[in-house]
Amino acid sequence: MALKEKRQYWLDGYSGAARGGVFYRSKIAVEVDEFETKFKEKIVAIAIEPKFDSDKPSWTIEFILDAANQPKHLEGITTKSRESVELGE
């Protein structure tokens, strides 16, 4: 499951024009690769949110996983479609 292709994760609901040209050196690609390799899961989205007790970002990043690989004992418990996540359901 190693990271073999370029991936882009877009902000939910964003429909405006986008431009490139800004690069930030980060370890997130390494962490995605390590997670997918170790847990044999495919990350299909990444969620970040602010700390609720301050105006600073949280250090926590949520890896949202492909529901097709959900363990049988968890089937139907936490599975959401992208549409329901976008609608806040």
Q: What is the pLDDT of residues 9-63, one digit of tens each?
A: 888 888 888 888 788 888 988 999 999 999 888 888 888 877 777 777 777 888 8
Domain positions in the chain: 28-86
Nearest Cα neighbor of 46 from 56, 54, 36 is 36
Residue 9: Cβ within 10 Å count: 14
H or E element, residue 44: strand 43-50
Predicted pLDDT of residue 67: 82
**What's the token pair of residue 66?**
């492909």
Higher pLDDT, 80 or 57: 57
Give the Cα separation of 23 and 38 in Å (integer): 27
